[in-house]
Copies of this chain bind each other. A is one copy, B any other.
C-alpha cells in the first residue's frame, strides 16, 4: 500500500545544489585544517550510553537520542521501573547506546582509549553529524554537522594564536570578509567575580553578563540582583559595561578593574600575549576583538573563550566558537591533558554565504555537455565521444533514450547544461559533431579534437 512519504521533524533532505554548496564549505574548512597540521579522525555515530550520559547536564541527557536494544529488550527491563511505568528510570535498562550529541565528548573518549597510539600534542579535526532531540524550530535541527579542530596535550598560548589565524584563513578562503573573532578568558571572568567578592556566584554572574547583547545593561543588572549579587558588587563592576576602544585600550582599562585579582591579571597577560602575536602577524580579512561579556560553555572552559560573529549586515550571529579546557579527558580517567579547540557552524555559514551571494557560480555547475540520443547507432557514436571527454575530465552525458528532440533539449535546459551535441547520419559520416551553445544558441560543426578543445 502506498504511504505518503515524509521525514522526521527537525531533519532535512539535501538536494544536489545544497549538498554541493555544503561540500564547498566543508572542503574549504578541511583544506585549512590540513594546512595547519590537523589530522582527521572519525568516531561511531552511536556511543555506549554511559560515555555520553551525565556529560551535558540534565537537559543534555534529555536531548540525547537513545537507541532501543535489539531483540526481546523488555526481558531485561528494570523491574521496578516497569512496575512504576517510569520512562526515565527504565531507559538505561532497555537502551545501551545513544547517538552522539557533540564531537567533543567522543573525542575525549577517543583520546583516552587510544592514548598509547597518539603522539601528543595531538591536533585533530572531525567533521561529522550530531543529533539532538531539541524542539525543532527555524535554524535549529535534530541532525546537523559539527566541524571541530582541537589540540590536546599542550597548554601553549601559541595555539590560541593559531586558532585565530585558522578562523581567519577559513573565512578568507570562503571570501567572507568582515568576520569578527571575539576573545575572552575565563580568568578575566573569575577576576571580576573575585574583585566584587562574589566568587561563589561566578556562574550566575557570567551567565547574566553573557546576555548583555540581548537584554542590555539594565537587564543584566536586574538578573544579577535576582541571583543575589549585591548592588554594591554590581556598582564595583560598572566599568565593564562601558569598556570602549580597541583591543589594547580595553586591556588597559581591564588592568585597572582587575588590579587586585591575581587570576584576573593572569587572564590579562594571556589576552595580551595573543593580541601581540596577532598584531605582529595581521589577519587577512577578519578582526580580533576583546569581548569581556563572552562566557559560552563556561563550565568547560578554563582559559581562552572564542566566539565568531558573521559580518554585522547579515544579522545571523555566531558562526563559530571554542576555547581552552583543562581537563576534558579527566572524565575518562586521563588527567592533566590541556586542550583547546574551535568549531565552525556549518548551517549558519551556509546561510551567510547564501545571503551575501558568496557561493562561486562554478560550485553548482555539474554536467557540461549533453549528447542528444537519435537512436542506438547514433548513441554508440555519441557515447564513444562522451567517454573520451570524461577521460579528459569533462562531465558529459548521453541522454539515455531516443526521445523527441524537444524533450531532450528541455532536459538540458532544465538542468542548465550549457552545451548540447547533436550527431546524426551526416555528422557520423564526416566524423564530426554539431556543438550547440545553449545560452547563445550558436552552433558549430567540430571535429572530435575541436570538441574537446571547445569544452575544456
Contact = CB atoms under 8 A, between A and B. Distances in A.
A406 interface: no
A384 interface: yes
Contact of A41 (B13, B156, B281, B332): B13
A90 interface: yes
B40 A20 contact: yes
Interface centre among A13, A47, A95, A114 (most CB of B within 10 A): A13
Contacts of A143: 44-46
Give this chain's copy count: 2
A15 to B, nearest CB: 6
Contacts of A65: 46, 67-68, 70
Nearest to A382: B158
Interface string A346-372: 000000000000000000001100000
Given A19-B42, A65-B67, A333 B34 contact: no
Contacts of A373: 156, 158
A398 B68 contact: no
Contacts of A384: 280-281
A277 interface: yes
A397 interface: yes
Contacts of A451: none
Contacts of A244: none
Contact of A5 (B37, B87, B99, B113): B113
Interface in A394-424: 394-398, 400-401, 411, 414-415
A6 interface: yes
A47 B94 contact: no
Nearest to A393: B35
Contacts of A34: 366, 395
Interface stretch (A72-80, A207-215, A296-304, A435-443): A72-80
B117 A15 contact: yes
A380 interface: yes
Interface string A320-332: 0000000000111
A400 B169 CA distance: 19
A25 to B, nearest CB: 14
A383 B281 contact: yes
22 contacts: A3-B51, A5-B113, A5-B333, A7-B48, A8-B96, A13-B114, A14-B42, A16-B124, A19-B40, A19-B42, A23-B40, A34-B395, A37-B396, A39-B366, A46-B131, A66-B68, A75-B85, A119-B414, A154-B401, A158-B379, A158-B383, A159-B400
Given A12-B44, A19-B41, A119-B414, 13 more contacts: A2-B330, A5-B112, A7-B44, A13-B42, A16-B41, A19-B42, A20-B39, A39-B366, A67-B67, A151-B400, A158-B373, A158-B379, A281-B387
Interface of A: 2-8, 11-16, 19-20, 23, 34-37, 39-48, 50-51, 62-63, 65-68, 70-75, 82, 85-88, 90-91, 94-97, 99, 109-110, 112-114, 117, 119, 121, 123-124, 129, 131, 133, 143, 151, 154, 156, 158-159, 161-162, 165, 169, 277, 280-281, 330-333, 366-367, 373, 379-380, 383-384, 387, 390, 393-398, 400-401, 411, 414-415
